[in-house]
Structure 1
């Protein structure tokens, strides 16, 4: 099982690594993906898309709202062992799936395609922010993968109590 916030952040990191590889390679082979004005417009539209997407996911709208999924998460008795985001920061499969086609299309077709991983990274970052806020407000931790047949279904565990500097529970 994987913490929902960590899953989203691994996706963000993988997309940013794909972006960090595709842009310099495409620039070296085909030239700059966009002009300065075009890059500004691309980033502005990406941020606007992210804000709208995150607001829709934060709502309770039937097909878009993630909050309803968070609240319907199956409660677990015990928190599973978490895979640290520090030791496994990337999703290798996602990185390969994003990197290879993006780089091929950016070189063979249009250079601006090298910037597409940014369009994926921003909404994933919004999802991670939304889930982290929900976890803080509700005192729970969201997990993915408790059901092997439906790994996207969520489960929750209570947030562990904070510890003092000596490792003891607070009084």
Structure 2
């Protein structure tokens, strides 16, 4: 189980690391790109669209837009309130997913090597969306006085990921 906010922030760092890997390879092979106004404008437009779609995903209940607000509101309490939850450091560590990083690196390398160095910028689409979702979830947690978790529930059929919430209490000192 991982805290939802940590999951989103970990994804931001994964994308940044993937872009750094892809940039070092692509720039090493093709050279540094020349600053082009159209390319910068396209990347800024992509980032703006990403932030807009991230905001739509967390602020609406429409399932075809992501509808994470509905998922937040339908979160169920942890069945065992005394369960030992991951520490913030452990939650962040669990939030990292190497497969997602590979999904970003491989197309970035292909696009960058085939079309040009600016093409690795497509991955910037993930960053603003995840930042918006993480910030929204953080304020949602504060507004409701709970911590929002994302994870598998053993009692649920198929063990699919689900949103859970817990008290924000901290563990007593040992």
The alignment's TM-score, normalised by the length of structure 1, stands at 0.80
Q: Deviations over 1:1-49 (max 9, x none)?
A: 1111111111111000011121232122123456331343133213321
Distance 1:37 1:150 in 2: 48
Which residue number corresponds to residue 134 of structure 2?
Answer: 128
Task: Decide which structure has greater helix share.
Answer: 2
Aligned length: 164
| Aligned residue number for residue 20 of structure 1 | 20
How do 1:110-149 residues align onto structure 2 when only pairs under 5 Å count? 110-147=116-153, 149=158
Partners of 1:3 and 1:144 within 8 A in 2:
yes
Gaps of 5+ in 1: none
Mapped contact 1:2–1:144 kept (Cα < 8 A)? yes
Question: Equivalent residue for 1:160?
Answer: 169
RMSD value, Cα: 2.6
Q: Which runs of 5+ in 2 are unaligned?
A: none
Q: Structure 2 length normalisation: TM-score?
A: 0.79
Runs (4+) off by over 4 Å: none
SS state of the match for residue 62, structure 2? Answer: coil
**Deviation for aligned residue 1:99:** 1.2
Does residue 96 (structure 1) correspond to residue 102 (structure 2)? The answer is yes
Tell which deviates more after alignment, 87-96 or 7-16. 87-96
